[in-house]
Amino acid sequence: MPGLLAKTRITLEMIKWEHSIFALPFALTAVLLAANGLPGWRTVLWILIAMVSARSAAMAFNRWADADLDAANPRTSSRAIPAGQLSRQFVLGFTLLAILVFVVAANQLNRLTLYLSPLVLAVLLGYSYMKRFTRWSHLVLGLALGLAPSAAWIAVRGSLDPRILVLTCAVTLWAGGFDVLYACQDFEHDRAAGLHSLPQAIGIPAAFWAARAMHVSMLILLLWFGSLFHFHTAGWLGIVAVALLLAYEHSLVSPRDLRRLNAAFFTMNGVIAMVFLAFVAADLCLGR
């Protein structure tokens, strides 16, 4: 039992489960809009379980699929599998367990969420292999996060409203943009290993401009989203806040200085997601 607890702790560190906060606030935004407030506690609980288990499965599978690549990359060689802290068999077993929990949660929500769960898993798990084939793997990662609001809407309503797809596209570009920035630190390794990424394909300075374009496009989509859902003052202020935070995020790094990339990637993106949720929630409350 002590060994299992130690492995569980290492696994949670490996998948960085606390970073579920990236997509979760956007999913909860969709929940609030779909229910025009808060749905029943049971629905919220199963959505949270589905979100955390889906991301855990995706992250663990990524570490399993990339174990050999991680071992060859100085930046990632200390991860759990290359460092010998966890076996590939254990990580694969954890992945399968997380997948099972996700499917159970989808079944507890409604029939459509269950039917669509294999498609969601295909995107989440398939991302791990995309950088072997295409420079646009960043957008597949973005889609893995972007599916969260549409999935949450379906979980509440049992059907899909095309309006929520605008938020899915916005989150896809948001996550894809910051993944482009994150990939800049692996430029040399990706080139040597024959892996594909936007920085490796077009160079780091051009990749920065691509990330900026993605984030500007995200803001345009958020403006469209706000008009579709008839945002009031608080909602529009939320979009302004996201724009300012994105601008600050980009100010932290440059093509010549990636030292603060972790602060830009992990801290600021969690803040952006939470701020947007808070403003949309306030907009719903004040607009009633």
What secondary structure does DSSP assign to 105-156, as a single string? HHHHH-HHHHHHHHHHHHHHHHHHHHTTT-TTHHHHHHHHHHHHHHHHHHHH
Residue 171: enclosing H or E segment and its boundaries?
helix 164-183
The backbone torsions φ and ψ at residue 131, rounded to the nearest 5 degrees and listed phi first, read -70, -10
- Residues 173-183: b if buried by 16+ CB within 10 A, e if exposed: bbbbbbbbbbb
Burial code (b: 16+ CB inside 10 Å, e: under 16) for 85-104 equals: bbeeebbeebbeebbebbbe
Which of the 8 DSSP states describes residue 40?
-
What would the two tokens of residue 84 be? 């010998």
What residues of the chain score a pLDDT lower than 70?
1-4, 17-21, 263-265, 288
**Tokens at 32, concatenated:** 């609030």
Distance of alpha carbon 163 from alpha carbon 149, whole angstroms: 11
Per CATH, the homologous superfamily of domain 19-287 is: UbiA prenyltransferase (1.10.357.140)
Q: CA 37 to CA 281: how far, in whole Å?
A: 8
Amino acid of residue 94: F
Q: Quote the CA–CA distance of 238 and 269 in Å, as a whole number.
A: 14
50: how many CB neighbours lie within 10 A of its CB? 27
Q: Can you give the pLDDT at residue 19? A: 60
- Quick one: how far is CA 77 from the chain centroid? 23
Q: What is the DSSP letter of 22?
A: T
How far is the C-alpha of 90 from the C-alpha of 68, rounded, in Å?
16
